Amino acid sequence: MRIPKLLFAAAAALFIFALILFLGLLLISGGDPVGFVQTQLIRLRLAGREAVLNTPLRSDNTPLRFVVDPGDSPRIIAANLVAAGLIADAEVFVDYVRLQGWDTELEAGTYFLNAAQTIPQIAQALTDSRGSFIPFRIIEGWRLEEIAEAVDANPLFGFSGAEFLAVTAAGAQPDESFAARVGLPAGASHEGVLFPNTYSLPPEITARGLRDVLTDEFLAQVNAAGVESAAHDQGWSLHQVATLASIVQREAVRIDEASLIAGVYRNRLDIGMKLDADPTVQYPLGQPGDWWTQITRADYTGVISPYNTYLSPGLPPGPIANPGLAMLQAVVAPEPSEFYYFQADCAGSGYHRFARTFDEHLSNSCS
């Protein structure tokens, strides 16, 4: 009878010990012993993987577009990160976000990540998609194709330069209200009305969305600066203003000469004289890698194009580039003068010599 009593006492002691252990575990786990144990196991696994956790995959910090779709689990996100070449170990990522309590906080959205980030940095970034944006700059005087090339050069866009051209080039369907307000001719491209500026764009932006951002900015700028009202008062459409401004943009190396150069062109238009603008000859000759090619004297009559203002009177069919605000203002507020001619200063300063007559213009030649 002594042995059963000893066994019972031992069992009772074991039970009490287990109960104390359980109660202690319950206390230190905050009421979640299973979760506590799982967390400790994760800590143990990560303790042996600190190098993977805290070492970037590569030193390349080129941003890569990474999309988390609604409903993606941490495991799916981790697998996609590996496939994108952003991390090396999916299990370490999953363990880390669970340890941090971020496994339910990873947000659907578009992110711009790079392989120089560690797993903790990437995991934290994926908890807030609001910080993602696409920086994009358009230079004054760029033509449509140059904007498209800048799209292709930016890995953050989810569309190509060709897709951008499909919604902005000649024949693309414009927004009807915009076309009416600007005076955009039927079938015309959006050349000239895509405002040059530095933009912070939403990551989900589309080619059409980019077009609309640029045209909205154009309208906002010309309205705020009084260009739109001045054009209306002078009987010009915004498309015509942009057309002449684009020529001035390509001619005026020095911004303080813009209104004087615009005035020369307005003087020529007033008397029915051809504009004879070199950039209008360059425009139809432009090719990838050389959009503003050097022209020869023979090109003045050899380039058969409605844009060639050495052959065609008046304004060309449309802008040849996208002008900045200063050039648009110069066209509607040109500097009055008696000049009808100008040519580059022989000193290479970027300034021009202006003349009233053709003979005076010839005497300004560099010889």
Q: What is the pLDDT of residues 291-315, one digit of tens each?
A: 999 999 999 999 999 999 999 999 9
pLDDT of residue 366: 82
> Measured between alpha carbons, how far is 354 from 348 in angstroms, rounded to an integer?
15
pLDDT of residue 25: 43
- 1 or 72, higher pLDDT: 72
Name the pLDDT band for 122 (thresholds 50, 70, 90): very high
pLDDT of residue 88: 93
Question: CATH number of the domain at 50-131, please?
Answer: 3.30.1490.480
Query: Where in the chain are all domains bearing CATH 3.30.1490.480?
Result: 50-131
pLDDT, tens only, 165-223: 999 999 999 999 999 999 999 999 999 999 999 999 999 999 999 999 999 999 999 99
pLDDT of residue 26: 47
Name the pLDDT band for 20 (thresholds 50, 70, 90): low
pLDDT of residue 116: 96
> Measured between alpha carbons, how far is 79 from 84 in angstroms, rounded to an integer?
9
pLDDT of residue 362: 82
pLDDT, tens only, 247-295: 999 999 999 999 999 999 999 999 999 999 999 999 999 999 999 999 9
Q: At what angle do helices 238-251 and 325-332 cross, to 10 degrees?
A: 110
Lowest mean pLDDT among 27-41, 65-79, 157-171, 256-270: 27-41
Do 254 and 351 touch, CB atoms closer than 8 A?
yes
Name the pLDDT band for 231 (thresholds 50, 70, 90): very high
> Measured between alpha carbons, how far is 109 from 133 in angstroms, rounded to an integer?
11
| DSSP secondary structure string for all residues of 290-302 | BTTPPP-TTHHHH
In Å, how far are 307, 326, 329 from 267, measured between CA atoms? 19, 19, 16
In Å, how far are 75, 247, 282, 298 from 287, measured between CA atoms? 47, 18, 10, 19
Residue 208, C-beta contacts closer than 8 angstroms, at least 6 positions apart: 167
Instruction: Determine if the pTM surpasses 0.75.
Output: yes
